[in-house]
Amino acid sequence: MKLITANMKSRSYLDDDFLDYDPDCPECRDGWIRKGERVGRCLCGKKKDTYRRIIELNKIYPIADRLREKSFENFKPKTDSQKQAMELMQSGKACYLFGPWGSGKTHLLSATMNKLQDEYIMALLISAPWLFEKIRRDLFNNWEIEVLETACKIEYLCIDDIGKEKPTGLIEEKLFMIVDRRLNEGKRTSFSSNFPLDDERLNLDNAIKSRIHEACEIIFVNGSDYRKIK
């Protein structure tokens, strides 16, 4: 039975090697397909693998229920810049969203993560202070590889509230490694911050700022504090 549909082909987890195969896993006996000597995961097998990885990821980096509810459908832009930010995030581009408190930045990052995870794409939202804490713990435990490896494997990473806390020494170095490696591997990283990239109040190393410039659309998300006007 032919399992490959146009819709499935567009998914990023597909491996081109297998697109021409007629899977011999009639939906889905064991998650594998065979062609001659070669055997590989079928499409449903790959989908299940990614789903399992997302579940594991969410165990290590739990997402608050409140953020799970955020979507593009329940984001109601009130300003042009909010509309533009929403459209760019919806298009899947990596963005650096900056703007005042309560203008919807975290909402848009959460909506992006939720949408991508629903499509079986490895996506994660983590706040910068929490990411730094994870790095700190790894360094303390000499497991520095764990968070670095995870952060680099994720297909679309959202780092919330960057530049709020000044990363010190080793933590800044690790953050640089994450941002730099993700950029080199063509993996998307979006950020939120209260400050523009060139603002002195943004606690971030120039080498990281420069890479964000290269990799992201820089968007001012303007608007009144939604927390107050709701």
On whether the CB atoms of residues 191 and 221 are closer than 8 A, the answer is no
Pattern 43-82, binding to ligand ATP, x per CB under 6 A?
---------------------------x---xxxxx---x
Tokens describing residue 154: 């994720």
Please state, in angstroms and as integers, the Cα–Cα distance from residue 2 to each residue in 5, 22, 30, 166, 201, following that order.
8, 6, 16, 53, 56
Partner from Zn ion, Mg ion, ligand ATP, none binding residue 96, C-beta < 5-8 Å depending on class = none
Tokens describing residue 178: 């994450």
| Residue 81 burial (CB count, 10 A) | 18
Partner from ligand ATP, Mg ion, Zn ion, none binding residue 190, C-beta < 5-8 Å depending on class = none
Output DSSP code: residue 200. Answer: T
DSSP 147-160: HHHHHHH-SEEEEE
Helical (H) or strand (E) element with 125: strand 123-127
User: Site for ligand ATP (CB under 6 A): which residue of 19, 29, 101, 213?
Assistant: 101
Rounded-to-integer distance, Cα 16 and Cα 3, Å: 14
The verdict on 44 binding Zn ion (CB under 5 A) reads yes
The verdict on 31 binding ligand ATP (CB under 6 A) reads no
Q: Which residue has the tokens 């400050």?
A: 195
Between 42 and 57, name the residue whose CB sits nearer to Zn ion.
42
Closest-by-Cβ residue to ligand ATP is: 104
User: Site for ligand ATP (CB under 6 A): which residue of 84, 90, 194, 203?
Assistant: 194
Partner from ligand ATP, Zn ion, Mg ion, none binding residue 25, C-beta < 5-8 Å depending on class = Zn ion
Rounded-to-integer distance, Cα 222 and Cα 76, Å: 13
Pattern 198-227, binding to ligand ATP, x per CB under 6 A?
----------------------------xx
Partner from Zn ion, Mg ion, ligand ATP, none binding residue 41, C-beta < 5-8 Å depending on class = none
The verdict on 28 binding Zn ion (CB under 5 A) reads yes
Partner from Zn ion, Mg ion, ligand ATP, none binding residue 227, C-beta < 5-8 Å depending on class = ligand ATP
Closest-by-Cβ residue to Mg ion is: 106
The least CB distance from residue 132 to ligand ATP, in Å, is: 16
Rounded-to-integer distance, Cα 114 and Cα 133, Å: 23
Residue type, 128: A
Chain residues that interact with ligand ATP, rule: CB under 6 A: 70, 74-78, 82, 101-107, 192, 194, 226-227
